Structure 1
Amino acid sequence: MAATLCAMPAPVTAQSYPDRPIRLVVPFPPGGSSDVSARLLAQQLGERLGRPIVTENRPGAGTMIGNEIVMRAPADGYTLLYAASSITITPNINPSLRFDPRRDLAAISLYIDAPLVLVANTAVPFQSLTGLVDYAKANPGRLNIAYPGMGTTNHLAAALLNHRAGLDIVLVPFAGNAAGLTALMRNDVQLAVDSLASATGFIREGQIRALGVTGEQRAASLPDVPAIAEALPGFETTFWFGLMAPAGTPQPIIDRLSAETMAAVREPTVVTRLHDLGFEARADGPAAFAARIERDFTKWGELVRAANIRID
C-alpha cells in the first residue's frame, strides 16, 4: 500500500509550477510588432514565475503551424501559445481544418485588445465614413480595399463593413501590412484596413487619411478619428493577442499563469510599451477570455456564412 502511494504522481499545484523553462510558441515571424509584444510578455512572465520563458517563432499557414504545435504538446504548462484573434476566424473559413480553439486549447488570459483603422488614399472624393458609404453605393465595385491576408481580422473587418453597410467594395489580399499600405499610397487600391501600429505614422504625416477605427470607441492614439460605430451603430471589430495552453492543462497552472499575466499587464512600463506599438493592454481571466473566444467564433461564423467567405 505504501509502495502504491509513493508511485502516485504528486498533485499539480501553483506553488510547484514551474520547475523548468517554459516555451512560448509565437506563430509570427521575428521582428514585427506581434513578435515584440510576445517577447515583452515572455520577459515579464519569466521574471514573475522565476523561470525563463523561451520564445519560439513558428509562422505560417495563417498561424496554424504554431497553433498545431501547441495543441499537440503535453498539457503540462511548459508549452504555451501566443494566440491571435485569427484562431476564431480560420476554422470558420476553412471547414476542412481539424481545429477548434474552444476544444483544442485552454484560455489563460487576454493580453492585448486593439482596434484596426480604416484608411483611404488622400485622392479619394470623400472625407468621412459617411461619404465613403454614399460614394460606394453610387459606384458599386469601383472601390478596392486592401487587407493583409485571407482569414485575418483585417479581412473580416473589411467584409463586415461591406455586409453591414450594404456595399460592394472589392476586397484585395496582400502579403502583409506593408504591401497593402504601399499599394494604397500608390492609389492601386483606394482603401485599406490596417493596424494602428502600421498606419498611425502615415496618418499623422498626411500620407493617408483615416476614416474610422473599428473598436466600439475612439482609439487613445487617434482621438480625432471617429469610431466606425458612430456612423454604423453596432459595428465593432478588434484584434487581440492572448495566452493559451493545450487543452487539459491542469487548472492550478492555468490560474497561476492568468494571475501573473494580469499582474504584468498592470505594470506601467508594459502599458506604455504596448501603447508605443499601437496596442492596448487588457487582461481578463480564463473564463472571460474563453467567453470572448466563444463570442468571436460565433460572430465570425455568422458573417462567413452570410458573405459566403471560403478558402478554396
Structure 2
Amino acid sequence: MRRLLAAVLGAALLFGVAPAAIAFPDRPIRLIVPYGPGGITDITARIIAPALGDQLGQQVVVDNRPGGAAMLGFGMTARAPADGHTLVLATTALAANPVLFRDIPYDARRDFTPVSLVGLVPMVLVVPRNAPANSIAEFVALAKRRDGQMNYGSAGNGSGNHLTTEMFMHAAGIRATHVPYRGGGQVMTDLVAGRVEFVFAVLPTARPFILDGSLRALAVTGRTRSDAVPSVPTVAETVLPGFALYEWLGLLGPAGLPEPVLARLHQAAVAAVRDPAIAERLKGIGVEAQGSDPATLATHLDSELRRWDDLAKHVRFEVAQ
C-alpha cells in the first residue's frame, strides 16, 4: 500500500498535479454568502448550491457570514486553504469596497481565484406612487431643479442601492442626499411611505410593490427591458444612451487554487448555472444567468475595480474605518 501511495504521489508531482487535487472534492464544500439570509445573494446561492453539488458529487453547504459590508465573508474566503473546499458568492461590493473603506482585510485582485461569473442583476428606479415625476426624464429634470435637495434610500453604505444610485447620478449630472439604512426591508417600507424619495432596487425586491401600485417604476438599468416588468423602459432608451449597470454575482475561491481543482469547479459551475431549470429559477428572481470561464470573471472584476476607482475621483463617498 505504501508503494502504491508513493507511486501515485510521484506521478502527481511528475505531471504537476498537487496531491490534494487528485481526489477533489473529498468532503462537503462551503459556499460563503457574505450577507444574511433572504437577500438576492443568499437566494441565488441556495438555488445553485444543490446543482453545483450534483456536478461535484459532494454537498455544497451555504454558509451565511454577514458583516462589515460583506468584508467578513470575503476575508474568511481569502484566508481559507486553497484546496477548493471554500468558495464565496461575491457581489459588486468586492469591487466597490476599496473606495468605501480604508482598512480591508484582503486584496480583491491578489487574494482570490475567479471561478465563474454566475449572474447579472439589473436594478429598477422606483419612487412613491404619488411622486411628481411620471417618467425617468421628468425625474432627472426634477432632480436638477432641486439640486441636492432630494434624498434616496439604500440598504447601507456600500450596498448595491447606494452604488448604483451614485453611478447613475454621476452619469446624469444630478445630486441627491444619501439616507443609509441597516438592510433593504426598512428602506422599501419608508419609500412606500414617502419618507425617502427614490431607490434603485433589485427587481425581485421592488416588483411586488410595483405590481400592487405602491411604487412607480421609472426605468431599469439593464441593456434591455426586463421580462419581470416589460412596460418599464431602460435608462439607455430614455435619458442616457449606452447606460447599463448591473449588480453582479461571481463564484471565487482563495488565491492559488490548483489548476485541476479550478478546472473542476469551473466546469461544475457552468453546468449548474446554465442548466435550463436553474437558469429559469434565477430568471424568476431577476438574475440573468451567466456561467463564464475564470478569465472572463477576472476581466470583469478588474474592470469593476477600475470603474469604482474612477467614480471615486468624481464622487465624494462616505469613507469608513
Which residues in structure 2 correspond to 1:111-126 (within 5 Å)?
A: 111-126=118-133
**How far does residue 138 in structure 1 lie from its aligned partner after superposition?**
1.4
Equivalent AA in structure 1 for residue 277 of structure 2: T
Please give the secondary structure, in 2, of the residue aligned with 1:24. strand
Does the 8 Å contact 2:26/2:58 carry over to 1?
Answer: yes
Q: Does 1:186 align with 2:193?
A: yes
Distance 1:216 1:273 in 2: 21
Q: Unmatched 5+ residue regions in structure 2?
A: none
Separation (CA, whole Å) in 1 of partners of 2:39 and 2:102: 29
Structure 2 match to 1:32? 39
Distance 1:62 1:93 in 2: 10
Distance in 1 between residues matched to 2:146 and 2:46, nearest whole Å: 45
Are 1:287 and 2:295 matched, yes or no? yes
Consecutive unaligned residues of structure 1, counting only runs of 5 or more, are: none
Give the residue type in structure 2 aligned to 1:286.
P
* Distance in structure 1 (CA, Å) of the matches to 2:193 and 2:302: 39
Q: Tell me how far apart the structure 2 counterparts of residues 168 and 80 of structure 1 sit (CA, whole Å).
A: 38
Q: Which moved further from structure 2: 219-228 or 66-75?
A: 219-228
2:317 maps to 1:309: yes
Deviation at 1:154, TM superposition (A): 1.8
Shift of 1:15: 6.4
Alignment of 1:250-261 (within 5 A): 250-261=258-269
Q: In 1, distance between residues paired with 2:158 and 2:117?
A: 20
Deviation at 1:131, TM superposition (A): 0.3
Partner of 2:246: 238
User: Share of identical aligned residues, percent?
Assistant: 37
1:100 corresponds to 2:107: yes
Contact 1:146 1:171 in 2 (8 A): yes
CA contact (8 A) 2:113 2:257 kept: yes
Which residue matches 1:151?
A: 158
Give the superposition deviation at 1:69: 0.7
- TM-score norm. by structure 1 comes to 0.94
Equivalent pair of 1:265/1:282 in contact (CA under 8 Å) = yes
Aligned residue for 2:62? Answer: 55
1:247 aligns with 2:255: yes
Count of residues in correspondence between the two structures: 311
What is the deviation of 1:227? 1.1
Q: C-alpha separation between the residues in 1 aligned to 2:219 and 2:185?
A: 19
Q: 1:22 aligns with which of 25, 29, 32?
A: 29
**2:137 aligned with 1:137:** no
Q: Conserved in 2, the CA contact under 8 Å of 1:274 and 1:281?
A: yes
Structure-2-length-normalised TM-score: 0.91
Per-residue CA deviation, residues 114-163 of structure 1 (Å, 9 max, x unaligned), is 11111011111111111011111112233211111111222111111221
Q: Structure 1 residue aligned with 2:176, among 166, 169, 172?
A: 169
